[in-house]
Structure 1
Amino acid sequence: MDLLETYIENREMVQPNHANSLQTAHGGNVLKWMDEIGAMSAMRFAGESCVTAHINGVDFERPIQVGDIALIEAYVYAAGETSVRVRLQTSREDIRTGEAERTTESYFVYVAIDGDRTPTPVPELTVEDERGERLREAALAGENGRR
């Protein structure tokens, strides 16, 4: 499956029930949203259920205020025998203008499982165009701390 076929994005409006005492999105809610979208990207790629196996650090760079839109983007950038590596980025988006500012970034590893909840093989990841190659290279560089 091609990298671009694994790209998924979702938006959440940050409501008061998502906020901490500073009226910004609670980090746990942001992580939950990222994990859900990351798992969807991994499942699209694997064609199987996927479970979270590892989170390679999370960088909270700036807050998302109550009333703001959290834009979560995910895509598979590498795969092992049964594992899938997904880059996740969250941005604060102005829904009226479409302007976005990155707030959070991480790299998650999911494992594909079959009906018996046993790890199962995943397909090979392909990259068929320049945009996909740029995304893959950016993810590999970021994962290794070379943003």
Structure 2
Amino acid sequence: MSAITLRFLAEPHTINFGGKVHGGTVMKWIDEAGYACATRWSKSYCVTVYVGGIRFHRPIRIGELVEVEARLAYTGNTSMNITVEVRSGDMKGGEMEMTTECLIVFVAVDSDGRPLPVESWTPETPGEMALAQHAKAVLDASRAATAPRG
């Protein structure tokens, strides 16, 4: 399976002093959904090696229905590049709005923490191809920003 969606209600214990869900809580949900997607794909324990391009579009309010969708964007030899979108909204209205998005890279590892090969995934639809290009662009930008200057 190349995608997974977690759904739940935003609860009062997740709020910050402004009355909205903590950004750190949203980041935890993102990591959990990404981990579930990566583990399901690789059938192995996985570790997070990169989180980037995180963008908070709007806050999540208490009582809203939250969806955290993790989708495989592309694979390397041992890595899985996963895009995660968080949406939320009033359950009665049914309309969900994007709240947060980012890219996470996971690596499958063995019991000693050594990388394991993962099955290759090939995007097939135009949407999947665009997602793969976006993920690559985020990683390329990150690499360029951290490259040694000389």
Where on the TM-score scale, by shorter chain, does this alignment land: which range? 0.7 to 0.9
Could you list the runs of 5+ residues in structure 1 that have no partner in the other structure?
A: none
**2:77 paired with 1:54:** no
Preserved CA contact (<8 Å) 2:14 2:25: yes
Percent of pairs with identical residues: 35
- Residue in structure 1 matched with residue 31 of structure 2 by the alignment: 35
**2:91 paired with 1:95:** yes
Preserved CA contact (<8 Å) 2:73 2:123: no
In the aligned structure 2, how far is the partner of 1:129 from the partner of 1:57?
Answer: 23
- How many residues are treated as equivalent by the alignment? 141
1:52 to 1:142, Cα distance in 2 relative to 1, 3 A = closer
**2:103 paired with 1:107:** yes
**Cα deviations by residue, 1:101-134 (Å, 9 ceiling, x for unpaired):** 1010100011110122211111110234455445
SS of 1:29's partner is helix
Which amino acid letter does the alignment assign opposite residue 97 of structure 2?
E
How do 1:1-147 and structure 2 match up within 5 A? Answer: 5-129=1-125, 132-133=128-129, 135-137=131-133, 139=135
Between structure 1 and structure 2, the one with the greater Rg is: 2
1:70 to 1:131, Cα distance in 2 relative to 1, 3 A = same
Preserved CA contact (<8 Å) 1:71 1:93: no
1:51 to 1:137, Cα distance in 2 relative to 1, 3 A = same
Higher relative contact order (CA 8 A, sep 6+): 1
Q: Shift of the alpha carbon at 1:16?
A: 1.3
1:127 to 1:30, Cα distance in 2 relative to 1, 3 A = same
Which amino acid letter does the alignment assign opposite residue 64 of structure 2?
D
Preserved CA contact (<8 Å) 2:108 2:117: yes
Q: Shift of the alpha carbon at 1:142?
A: 6.7
1:119 to 1:144, Cα distance in 2 relative to 1, 3 A = closer
Preserved CA contact (<8 Å) 2:108 2:118: yes
SS of 2:54's partner is strand
In the aligned structure 1, how far is the partner of 2:5 from the partner of 2:54?
Answer: 18
Q: Shift of the alpha carbon at 1:11?
A: 1.4
Preserved CA contact (<8 Å) 2:48 2:104: yes
